[in-house]
Amino acid sequence: FFANSMGSTLLSVTVLLFGKFIPSNLNDGHIEYLFFTLGGIMIANIFVFVMVMNRMQLGMIPKVKKNADKSVLEAEPGTV
């Protein structure tokens, strides 16, 4: 529901902002402004996605601290 409403809101705002560049005859308008803006929104979305994924902890795996006990990390598999 949330993603659908956000997409609908983004579309409505985009149409309100760029409606004057989209005449009935598309050859007379500047629809490229709309496409450049959508491209900019997509690039911004990629950066936000990368930032969120870097901060997100996936699954139930606990984070390993830098000061972790080295004896556990250097132990042979199956001996701990």
pLDDT one-digit tens code per residue, 10-46: 888 888 888 887 788 888 888 888 889 889 989 999 9
Q: What are the extents of the domains in the chain?
A: 1-80
pTM of the model: 0.54
Q: For helices 2-18 and 32-55, give the axis angle rounded to 10 degrees.
A: 150
